[in-house]
Copies of this chain bind each other. A is one copy, B any other.
Amino acid sequence: MTTPDPAAPPLRRRGERMRRAVLAAALDLLASQGLAGATVGAVARAAGVHETSVYRRWGTRENLILDALTTELDSALPVPDTGRVRDDLLGYFSALARLLSTAQGRALLRLSVEHDDTLDDRRGAYWSDRLDRAAVMVRRGAERRELAADTDPGLLIEAVSGPLFTRVLLSGAPLDETLVRGLVDLVLEGARTRP
């Protein structure tokens, strides 16, 4: 049995630090060089760890990339719970618009539409999973009777997020607060005149 060095950080903390360094390096490489540039070798070199350590922890390049993307977006996109559905939606989609306005956010989104047979199956599910987490804001709004009981949570989330994604991917039009507010109010209030 070896005696642990009391000055060394506990193993779990060191493992977590290594994980963070590798995921940060993966995100940097994804954003700067795209999917093709984020090889296990390049990520390991940028993070200053051995390639074998990366394979030991993540098994495959695919798992590494998905872990990096998931960790990044889930921390950049907390789901608010203010007690009012409009405030929750504005908070969430403003954060998404800000994320998609950064070079890294755009790169992550573009990456999702790049062709790569090894990643295709799970990347579709990846964005769906992120948006599924957002649906709880709508369900809470329906429970509080702010929204009609038959509101489709996923559909409402798609109607606001779809235009943001589309602007980044297709038109290049800017994402700003006015756009987010306009979309949220449109899906909440509707465009039809009231009798």
Contact = CB atoms under 8 A, between A and B. Distances in A.
A192 B105 CA distance: 31
Interface in A85-137: 110, 112-113, 123-125, 127-128
A193 interface: yes
Interface stretch (A10-18, A25-33, A61-69, A153-161): A153-161
Interface stretch (A1-9, A51-59, A70-78, A141-149): A141-149
Nearest to A113: B169
Contact of A193 (B147, B158, B167, B187): B147
Contact of A171 (B124, B141, B189): B124
Contact of A146 (B113, B158, B173, B193): B193
B193 A190 contact: no
Interface in A155-195: 155-156, 158-167, 169-173, 179, 182-183, 186-193
Interface of A: 110, 112-113, 123-125, 127-128, 138, 141, 145-148, 151-152, 155-156, 158-167, 169-173, 179, 182-183, 186-193
